[in-house]
Structure 1
Amino acid sequence: MEREFDAVVIGRNEGARLLRALSAAQAVARRVIYVDSGSKDGSPDAARGLGVTVLELDPSRPFTAARGRNAGLAALPDAEFVQFIDGDCVLDPDWAARALAHLHETPRAGLVFGRQFEAAPDASIYNWMTDWEWNKPLGPDTFCAGCLMVRTDVLRGIGGYNEGLIAGEDDDMCLRMQAAGWQTWCIEARMTEHDARLLSLAPWWRRSLRAGHSYAELGVLHGAAAGQRRRALIWGIGLPVLALAGLVLWWPVALGVVALYSASIARQWRRFRSQDLGAKRALQAASLLMLSKFAEAAGMASYWLARTRGQRRRLIEYK
């Protein structure tokens, strides 16, 4: 059953991680296509050395993950099922059988994905938070990340991925697939090992900026991500502005805002502690979750500013 599908791996300067991703895909897929977005580390030649078909995107057009996935899909016109894999992810050897079985047993499933987990969640709080974020709710209407197995006729039927999106292309694709009457399934199964290597605040901050950008654009395109936008606006912009005004007009207002932040962090701390996280790590996670609202708000503001100017933001890279 595993050889019923083909794999499309996309990447940019992934180094040794790419070779692991390609080798794992080759072990189970019928064919593997690697789509490279302007790597400078020799990734295309390294992939060819493994016997993988390589597509190098024309640098005269902006690189996006959506563009890479569409190019890989176009190179497999006879494929019935395609597994998309990001170049920093390693496919679990048992995943293909589970995914294909689900697609065969569930006629309305347009795509299926499983549990993605971090290779080294304890290497940093940033890695741990990324692993926590991967834990998507199970069910037929969940939003995937970059790795998933899809029915190619369904993906082609909705026009593929939106190549103009620099972030949130997966949510956009799921929303369009659901609108067309298809289910986007998350099932209880290990799918991919992800190697984020987020070891400092700066790359994690850029990752959160990108998330904020996607919330803003998904709102414009679909009216989606309303809750995420609301939280970012309240905690990342509204309350800080209120605190500053309080410092000028009436200082107890500023103290009240500080109390609100403290109460929210305490609530999240208790939530993380209930997941058997140590007290120190729980405090780090709760604080980082609050800090993310400032980055998301900045990403949203950047999107709206560029939109009012008729500009498109360049790819936001965090690695």
Structure 2
Amino acid sequence: MTELDCPLVSVIIPVFNDAERLALCLAALAQQTYARSRYEVIVVDNGSEQPEQIQAVAAPYDWVTIAMESTPGSYAARNKGLTLAQGEVIAFTDADCIPAVDWLERGVAHLRQTPNCGLIAGRIEIFFKDPQRPTSVELYESITAFPQERLLSQFHGGATANLFTWRAVIDRVGGFDDQLKSNGDLDWGKRVHAQGYEQRYAEQVLVLHPARASLGELYGRTRRLVGGYYGLRLKQAQSLGQRQAVFLQMLLQNLVPPVSFAVNAALDTRLSSVGQKLKVSWVMVLVRYISAWETLRLKLGGVSSRA
């Protein structure tokens, strides 16, 4: 693809207190095979405690714009980025992701090759801090996190850690619901699908994402995901009865022991030993009960977490 053939791409990256991993993300974007003059990067600081660190990481790159968004939540930050974006193509990734060197080139190619395309969801590959000694949480993440192809087929959306679309699509369907702390990407994808656009999963459009390694990280992620999903379900409910049903369904689902998950883990060839399979099943039990508690907390008036 020659420079003249390359549509301008705006890459939008929300960040919150993660300057170290943002540095790796920007370094990977600096090495793209896509023509350097045909993409811009917009980093939206979503209230980091030390914003000067975010600014210092971006300073070496004159093609990176730093913006600020005070409303908590990555979807509010992405919407802020959209107000600044100049590109015909919009690409989303996260501050803790490492895009492959041909990420932009392949993402744009798939977008252009798909008639009436609304979004391209690329592969998100999980990696461990120490591949020889993965933690129980890392093993769990490796078989559960970011199933882009399944998300697209079942929910008509994909994680914004690796997503491409046309600016014209966003102009038609609107931006993200900034009240959601999670699942806003699936909510947006459903709107794209409802407008009749095609959606594709692209295995070759790759970003790397670190697995969460500790119970603390898992706890924070689980709370955020439950809050986003609960908020999305309540948004879709049309009556008080339906809202009550959402609560009860989510609570009861998470109180049921994950027997089918344990069976699937036992059969999963990505887990190399009985010990790994048992560890992953134990983590899933923990996730279920964290999810049940968080659902109850939200029902009692708690605010969804951004952690």
TM-score higher than 0.5: yes
Note closer, same or farther for the CA distance 1:75–1:193 as it changes in structure 2 (3 Å cut).
Answer: same
**Alignment pair present for 1:206 and 2:220:** yes
Does structure 2 conserve the Cα–Cα contact (< 8 Å) formed by 1:268 and 1:286? no
Name the residue aligned to 1:242: none
CA distance in 2, matches of 1:111, 1:127: 29
| Aligned residue among 101, 104, 108 for 1:96 | 104
1:314: how far off?
A: 5.2
**Alignment pair present for 1:125 and 2:136:** yes
**Alignment pair present for 1:161 and 2:176:** yes
Name the residue aligned to 1:134: 146
1:127: how far off?
A: 2.2
**Alignment pair present for 1:31 and 2:40:** yes
Note closer, same or farther for the CA distance 1:315–1:50 as it changes in structure 2 (3 Å cut).
Answer: farther
Note closer, same or farther for the CA distance 1:49–1:97 as it changes in structure 2 (3 Å cut).
Answer: closer
Name the residue aligned to 1:173: 188
CA distance in 2, matches of 1:217, 1:66: 14
Q: Which of the two has higher C-alpha Rg?
A: 1
Residue 229 of structure 2 aligns to a residue whose secondary structure is helix
Residue 174 of structure 2 aligns to a residue whose secondary structure is coil
1:6: how far off?
A: 2.2
In the TM superposition, structure 1's runs of 4+ consecutive aligned residues that sit over 4 Å from their partners are 138-142, 228-232, 262-266
Name the residue aligned to 1:249: none
Structure 1 residues 143-191: Cα deviation after superposition (integer angstroms, max 9, x where no partner): 3112211111111211111111122111111111112222332222242
Supply the AA of the counterpart residue of 1:36.
Answer: D
Note closer, same or farther for the CA distance 1:268–1:135 as it changes in structure 2 (3 Å cut).
Answer: same
Does structure 2 conserve the Cα–Cα contact (< 8 Å) formed by 1:212 and 1:298? no
| Aligned residue among 235, 239, 259 for 1:221 | 235
1:269: how far off?
A: 3.7
CA distance in 1, matches of 2:186, 2:262: 30
After TM superposition, the score normalised by the length of structure 2 is: 0.81
Note closer, same or farther for the CA distance 1:24–1:173 as it changes in structure 2 (3 Å cut).
Answer: same
Does structure 2 conserve the Cα–Cα contact (< 8 Å) formed by 1:9 and 1:32? yes
Structure 1 residues 113-139: Cα deviation after superposition (integer angstroms, max 9, x where no partner): 211112317432222322322233266
Name the residue aligned to 1:316: 306
**Alignment pair present for 1:45 and 2:56:** yes
Note closer, same or farther for the CA distance 1:229–1:8 as it changes in structure 2 (3 Å cut).
Answer: same
Supply the AA of the counterpart residue of 1:136.
Answer: Q
**Alignment pair present for 1:188 and 2:203:** yes
Structure 1 residues 83-114: Cα deviation after superposition (integer angstroms, max 9, x where no partner): 11111111111222222222112123211121
Note closer, same or farther for the CA distance 1:79–1:96 as it changes in structure 2 (3 Å cut).
Answer: same
Does structure 1 conserve the Cα–Cα contact (< 8 Å) formed by 2:97 and 2:209? yes
RMSD between aligned residues: 2.7
Specify every segment of 5 or more residues in structure 2 that has no aligned partner in the other structure, as ranges. 238-245
**% same residue:** 23
| Aligned residue among 9, 12, 20 for 1:8 | 12
Name the residue aligned to 1:105: 113
CA distance in 2, matches of 1:220, 1:129: 28
Does structure 1 conserve the Cα–Cα contact (< 8 Å) formed by 2:156 and 2:186? no
CA distance in 2, matches of 1:220, 1:263: 27
Name the residue aligned to 2:77: 68
CA distance in 2, matches of 1:218, 1:135: 19
Specify every segment of 5 or more residues in structure 1 that has no aligned partner in the other structure, as ranges. 240-260
Structure 1 residues 33-61: Cα deviation after superposition (integer angstroms, max 9, x where no partner): 1111122341123212332211122x3xx
Does structure 2 conserve the Cα–Cα contact (< 8 Å) formed by 1:209 and 1:298? no
Does structure 2 conserve the Cα–Cα contact (< 8 Å) formed by 1:63 and 1:315? no
Supply the AA of the counterpart residue of 1:180.
Answer: Q
Name the residue aligned to 1:234: 252
CA distance in 2, matches of 1:150, 1:74: 15
Residue 184 of structure 1 aligns to a residue whose secondary structure is strand
Supply the AA of the counterpart residue of 2:41.
Answer: V
Supply the AA of the counterpart residue of 1:11.
Answer: V
Note closer, same or farther for the CA distance 1:315–1:290 as it changes in structure 2 (3 Å cut).
Answer: closer
Note closer, same or farther for the CA distance 1:85–1:263 as it changes in structure 2 (3 Å cut).
Answer: closer
**Alignment pair present for 1:86 and 2:94:** yes
Note closer, same or farther for the CA distance 1:114–1:231 as it changes in structure 2 (3 Å cut).
Answer: farther
Name the residue aligned to 2:241: none
Aligned residues: 281
